[in-house]
Amino acid sequence: MPVLEVRNLEKHFGDTRVLNDIGFSLDKGQALSIIGASGSGKTTLLRCLNFLERPDGGSIAVNGETLFDAADPAALNESEIRKKRLHFGLVFQNFNLFPQYTALENVTLARELLAKKSGGESKEAIREAGKELLAQMGLADRAAHYPHQLSGGQQQRVAIARALALHPDILCFDEPTSALDPELTGEVLRVIRNLAEKKTTMIIVTHEMAFARDVADRVIFMDGGLIVEQGDPREVIDNPKEERTRRFLANYARN
Ligand SMILES: Nc1ncnc2c1ncn2[C@@H]1O[C@H](COP(=O)(O)OP(=O)(O)OP(=O)(O)O)[C@@H](O)[C@H]1O
Ligand SMILES: [Mg+2]
């Protein structure tokens, strides 16, 4: 059974169709890259998966559990949405750390709130787990730093640790390196590559074609709200079948 199964997903903003019949699945331990021109609907797709937008059609299931089905649009209250959202971790382009909290607090905050509600783990256990995650990101010595005291690459690595802290089924990245210069891009891509080697189930929206090809198990090329082509990255990126994919990739230098 796939971890994620998306079927016929639709999203409109007014008269604009932003997602059109989007369907794909993702198996446990796989990394999926989504590529496509600006405005093709990549961010909207991630936002729909994370319940930041409500789709207008189709369905989303995680581990066989239907999270959303437009054919059966039960009214969801906020606490149900929050629960469904926990299946996904989301890492944004601009890090979006809480500026008033340290790196460690950014990582532990959501888990502490959850534990408070459900009477789960101790604060100490959560802090230890948070430190461990920061160490995995190469940030053991930055736990007490505030976001403004960290480089962009370090902030993004804190954001990745924060997303991992809640043990999501699927970790989603929306252009995680596009706000970073090349050196810092490298350090964040290395972390994502490590996660892929550890078989973390991930969706990565990226403009880094070489990275998409080397790290992802599958790639989706979107254009105008449609999936134009999907499959093995070496086929889609090195040997695209569709003219639109070829035109898009021609804008990227081969490496
Ligand atoms: N809240 C909104 N209201 C109206 N239109 C929107 C909204 N959000 C996105 N859109 C439109 O939906 C389309 C897809 O946008 P989206 O941000 O998903 O593209 P993208 O593929 O992520 O682009 P980029 O590579 O620039 O990040 C665009 O035409 C955009 O203008
Ligand atoms: Mg986007």
- Please state, for a pLDDT cut of 70, what percent of the chain lies above it: 97
Residues in the 5 Å CB sphere of ion ligand 2: 43
Ligand 1 neighbour 255 (Cβ under 6 A) = no
Burial 216-250 (b: 16+ CB within 10 A, else e): bbbbbbbbebbbbbbeebeebbeebeeebbeebbe
- Name the residue with higher pLDDT: 35 or 114: 35
Ligand 1 neighbour 44 (Cβ under 6 A) = yes
Q: Does residue 10 carry a pLDDT above 50? A: yes
Q: The domain at 27-54+73-87+168-255 falls in which architecture?
A: 3-Layer(aba) Sandwich (3.40)
Query: What is d(CA 130, CA 115) in angstroms, rounded to the nearest whole number?
Result: 14
CA of 43 to the centre of ligand 1 (A): 7
Q: Does residue 163 carry a pLDDT above 70? A: yes
Query: What is d(CA 70, CA 193) in angstroms, rounded to the nearest whole number?
Result: 35
Ligand 1 neighbour 77 (Cβ under 6 A) = no
Question: 43 near 247, Cβ under 8 Å?
Answer: no
Q: Does residue 255 carry a pLDDT above 50? A: no
CA of 206 to the centre of ligand 1 (A): 15
Residue ID of nearest Cα to ligand 1 atom 31: 39
Question: Within its chain, how far is the Cα of 183 from the centroid?
Answer: 22
CA of 38 to the centre of ligand 1 (A): 8
How confident is the model over 32-78, as pLDDT tens digits?
999 999 999 999 999 999 999 999 999 999 999 999 998 886 766 77
Q: In the prediction, which pLDDT does 253 show?
A: 63
CA of 41 to the centre of ligand 1 (A): 6
Q: In the prediction, which pLDDT does 211 show?
A: 92
Nearest of 230, 212, 211 to residue 221 by alpha carbon: 230
Q: Which long-range contacts (CB under 8 A, 24 or more apart) does 136-140 make?
A: 136/161, 137/161, 137/191, 138/187, 138/191, 139/103
**Nearest bound ligand to the CA of residue 173:** 2
Q: In the prediction, which pLDDT does 218 show?
A: 97
How confident is the model over 120-153, as pLDDT tens digits?
889 999 999 999 999 999 999 999 999 999 999 9
Q: Does residue 107 carry a pLDDT above 70? A: yes
Q: In the prediction, which pLDDT does 254 show?
A: 55
Residue ID of nearest Cα to ligand 1 atom 16: 41
> What is the best residue among 35, 44, 49 to mutate for testing ligand 1's pocket, by most ligand atoms within 8 Å of CB?
44
CA of 129 to the centre of ligand 2 (A): 31
| Domain boundaries for CATH 3.40.50.300 within the chain | 27-54+73-87+168-255
Mean pLDDT of the chain: 94
pTM: 0.94
Number of residues assigned to the chain: 255
In this prediction, residue 97 has a pLDDT band, given cuts at 50, 70 and 90, of very high
How confident is the model over 227-245, as pLDDT tens digits?
999 999 999 999 999 999 9
CA of 86 to the centre of ligand 1 (A): 24
How confident is the model over 170-187, as pLDDT tens digits?
999 999 999 999 999 999
Structure tokens at 136: 């995995």
